[in-house]
Amino acid sequence: MLQLWLYRDLLYQLVRREVVVRYRHSLLGVSWALLQPLGMMLLFTFVFTRAVSLNAIASLDVPYPLFVYIGVLPWTFFATGLNGSIQSLTSQRDLVTKVYFPQQILPLTSIASAFFDFLVASVVLVGLVAYFHLTSDWSFAFHPALLMLPLVVAVQVLLMVGLGLWLALGNLWYRDVKYLFAVGIQMWMFLTNVLYPLPTDGSAALRWLTTLNPMVPIISAYRDIVIHGRLPEAVPFLTALGVSVVLAASGWAMYRAMEGRFAERV
């Protein structure tokens, strides 16, 4: 303790540097330390008073662990890939400033590595399907709809590419983006049908959020194909596809237009 006291000035300077670096280029600065717990409080209040229906969970026609895993698997892929993408430009200062290459490669690398984890974790899904097929009332059947599963994965990847490009670009200009994402991705999960089915007769606000959320039809598509052996609902899934195409195309074009200015922002 005596040594710590003797070096208290060094401790102060190191802590100060850590805080300054953490919130550099951030518009809201240390306000993020307040906004994150406040946001989570509001989220949980909304979810557990408005969104979650315990009766809907109890009435599922599929084992709940299987229902949850088919939601958690693509969501983990989604969150991990975007979390890596968001700092892919700012964390590679030497590459961005000293080497010329298509800058889109950096966010895509994070998404590709998350996709590898997704494939590995899919082995558990196969095991769960086999286990519950043999031990529960639910049964799995091979259905032509399974042929559409790669298309669902492709739409999710396209959505992640679009969001990853925009998030990495936004974080390059404003470091607030990574803090906003850290809060937003948690809220996003609870407003998506990852852990529970979203009620169809909920409030207008919930229906509005569900309609704007492209991950809802994507996760529903996974469940429709694997659990129910049917094609996903066409309109919501095609809407998610359209959103994914727009985000990916616009993000790619923005990189081509602004990559010459990246070095000055790293």
pLDDT for 42 = 54
DSSP string over 27-64? SSGGGHHHHHHHHHHHHHHHIIIII--HHHHHT-SS-H
Q: 3-state class of 229 per DSSP? A: coil
C-alpha 233/C-alpha 80 separation (Å) is 27
Helix (H) or strand (E) holding 156: helix 149-173
Nearest alpha-carbon partner for 154 in 115, 120, 183: 115
What does the pLDDT look like over 72-119, one tens digit per residue?
Answer: 889 989 988 898 888 877 776 666 566 566 677 788 888 888 889 888
Distances (CA, A) of 49 to 45, 55, 104, 246, 255: 6, 14, 41, 34, 42
pTM of the model: 0.77
Residue type, 169: L
What does the pLDDT look like over 195-216, one tens digit per residue?
Answer: 778 766 655 656 666 678 899 9
